[in-house]
Amino acid sequence: MKTHRSIFLSFCVGAIVVLLACGGCKQKTSINANNTPIEGEVVKIVDGDTYDLKVGNQTIRVKMEGIDAPEKGMRYYKESKKYLYELCYGHTVLFKPNGINKFNKRIGFTYLTGGLELSHEMVRSGFAWHYKKYNSDSNLYKLELEARIAKRGIWADKYPVWPAYVRKCHKTPGINSRTLSQS
């Protein structure tokens, strides 16, 4: 029968093994663990609501606060990604983190030197939805309404398909991007 001491030692050894196996974890979490603003250079655009920010010799993945942009394979994916690229690629930005999502991406608002905030601009342009489930910013809500009325970007379609719906459908057997684009 194991004693409390041997159980404790087994736990400690297991914890050390996990920490050693996670070697790079320290670097990923060391950047701004206290959510203070970060200045860095945008070095990669992943899609219309996600980019990579180089801070010193480290790179962090940023999911823009309060928005959802078209996924790869969806209409307006390329346009949304291109618009974000034109706005900020290669620029120094101020990122104000608000947390980390379940995919280990930093979430927050991003400001260009002139003060333009990227999430708001993506919604205003019609290349992203206001993600109301995770954000209640009334300005994002108003900007989406204006883009819908003006039929900018995704709102030019009669029935734009929300990315969260597409992601949910991808998890459903028998439904894929091709099925959705034909409906």
d(CA 94, CA 11) in angstroms, rounded, equals: 41
The pair phi, psi for residue 123, each rounded to 5°, is -70, -45
What residues make up the domain containing 143? 29-182
Q: For residue 140, tell me if it sits in a domain.
A: yes
Q: Total structural domains in the chain?
A: 1
Cα dihedral 97, 170, 44, 134 in deg (nearest 10)? -20
Q: For residue 8, tell me if it sits in a domain.
A: no
CATH of residue 150's domain is 2.40.50.90
Q: For residue 10, tell me if it sits in a domain.
A: no
Coil, helix or strand at residue 152:
coil
Task: Provide the whole-model pTM.
Answer: 0.74
Q: For residue 18, tell me if it sits in a domain.
A: no
Q: For residue 2, tell me if it sits in a domain.
A: no
pLDDT score for 62: 97
**pLDDT tens digits in sequence order for the chain, 183 residues long:** 555 455 444 444 444 433 334 444 433 445 556 689 999 999 999 999 999 999 999 999 999 999 999 988 889 999 999 999 999 999 999 999 999 888 889 999 999 999 999 999 999 999 999 988 888 889 999 999 999 999 999 999 988 877 766 666 656 555 555 555 444
Q: For residue 11, tell me if it sits in a domain.
A: no
Q: For residue 43, tell me if it sits in a domain.
A: yes
